[in-house]
Amino acid sequence: MITAMTTFAENVGASRIVAGTRIQNPCGHPALSREQDRALRRRIVQTALDALERPVEGPTVFRPERLVV
Amino acid sequence: MRLELGTFPVAELRFGSETRLDGARLTVDRDAVRRLVAEDLTFSRVDVEIVRPGEACRVIHVADTVEPRIKVAGPGAIFPGTLGPLENVGAGRTHRLSGVAVLSSVEFPWRRVGGVILPTEAIVDMSGPMAAYTPFSETLNLVLVLDLQPDLTDEEYERAVRLAGLKVAAYLAECTRHLPPPRVDVLDLTVQDPSLPRVVYVWQIYSLETYGGQYWYGLRLDNLFPTLIHPNEVVDGALVSGQHTAPNVKHCTWLNQNNAVIEGLYQAHGRDFNFAGVILVRGRYTTVEEKQRVANQAAKLAGLLAADGALVTWESSGNAQMDAILIVQACERAGIKTVFLTTEYGGHEGTDVPLIYHVPELDAIVSTGSVDQRVAFPPMPRAVGGATVRLRPEVGGIRQSATAAIVPDRRTELYCSGHQLGTGRITCLEY
Q: State how far the Cα of B157 lies from the Cα of A43, in Å rounded to an integer.
A: 43
The answer on pLDDT for B74 being more than 50 is yes
The answer on pLDDT for B221 being more than 80 is yes
* Cβ-based contacts under 8 A for chains A and B: 23
What mean pLDDT is predicted for residues B214-224? 98
pLDDT at B158: 97
Contacts of A4 in chain B (CB under 8 A): 286-288
CB contact under 8 A, A5 and B358: no
Does the beta carbon of A36 lie under 8 angstroms from any beta carbon of chain B?
A: no
Among B12-16, B198-202, B329-333, B369-373, name the one with the lowest average pLDDT.
B369-373
In chain A, how many domains are there? Answer: 1
> Helix B288-304 and helix B320-333: axis angle, to 10°?
40
What mean pLDDT is predicted for residues B210-232? 97
The answer on pLDDT for B256 being more than 70 is yes
Q: State how far the Cα of B122 lies from the Cα of B418, in Å rounded to an integer.
A: 12
The answer on pLDDT for A67 being more than 80 is no
The rounded percent of chain B whose pLDDT value lies above 90 is 93
Supply the pTM of this predicted model.
0.95
ipTM above 0.95, yes or no: no
Does the beta carbon of A63 lie under 8 angstroms from any beta carbon of chain B?
A: no
By Cβ distance, the residue of A7, A11, A23 closest to B286 is: A23
pLDDT at B224: 98
CA atoms within 13 A on the CB side of B421: 26
- Do the bridges between strand B239-243 and strand B212-216 make them parallel or antiparallel, or are there none, so unpaired? antiparallel
Tell me if A20 is assigned to some domain. yes
Mean of per-residue pLDDT scores for chain B: 96
Question: Euclidean distance between the first and final Cα of chain A, in Å?
Answer: 16
SS3 B278: strand
Contacts of B286 in chain A (CB under 8 A): 4, 22-24
> B421, exposed or middle or buried, with CB in 10 Å at 0-12, 13-18, 19+?
buried
Q: Give the distance from residue A52's alpha carbon to the nearest chain B alpha carbon, in angstroms.
A: 23
Q: In the structure, what pLDDT confidence band is assigned to residue B116 with cuts at 50, 70 and 90? A: low
Say if CB B94 and CB B78 are below 8 A apart: yes
Q: Considering only CA atoms, which of B186, B215, B175 is closest in space to residue B82?
A: B215
Q: State how far the Cα of B10 lies from the Cα of B140, in Å rounded to an integer.
A: 8
What mean pLDDT is predicted for residues B16-25? 98
Contacts of B319 in chain A (CB under 8 A): 5, 8, 23
Does the beta carbon of A6 lie under 8 angstroms from any beta carbon of chain B?
A: yes
Q: In the structure, what pLDDT confidence band is assigned to residue B307 with cuts at 50, 70 and 90? A: very high
CB contact under 8 A, A22 and B286: yes
Say if CB B275 and CB B268 are below 8 A apart: yes
Contacts of B357 in chain A (CB under 8 A): 7-8, 11
- Hey, where are the domains in chain B? 2-401
pLDDT digits (tens, 9 = 90+) for B35-49: 999 999 999 999 999
- Identity of the residue numbered B114: G
What mean pLDDT is predicted for residues B109-135? 89
Q: State how far the Cα of B405 lies from the Cα of B123, in Å rounded to an integer.
A: 12
Q: In the structure, what pLDDT confidence band is assigned to residue B114 with cuts at 50, 70 and 90? A: low
> Helix B30-38 and helix B154-173: axis angle, to 10°?
150
C-alpha distances out from residue A8 to A59, B106, B178, B353, B355, Å: 11, 38, 56, 14, 12
Which residues of B, range 357-376, sit inside 8 Å of A by Cβ? 357-358
One DSSP character per residue, B207-225 reads: --BTTEEEEETTEEGGG--
By Cβ distance, the residue of B286, B356, B357 closest to A4 is: B286
Range of the domain at A36: 2-62
The answer on pLDDT for B191 being more than 80 is yes
Q: State how far the Cα of B236 lies from the Cα of B220, in Å rounded to an integer.
A: 17
pLDDT at B115: 66
Say if CB B348 and CB B238 are below 8 A apart: no
pLDDT at A69: 34
Tell me if A69 is assigned to some domain. no
Look up residue B250 and give its DSSP letter. Answer: S
Q: Considering only CA atoms, which of B186, B191, B350, B216 is closest in space to residue B280?
A: B216
What mean pLDDT is predicted for residues B232-241? 98
C-alpha distances out from residue B78 to B65, B168, B261, B283, Å: 15, 12, 21, 27
The rounded percent of chain B whose pLDDT value lies above 70 is 99
Tell me if A68 is assigned to some domain. no
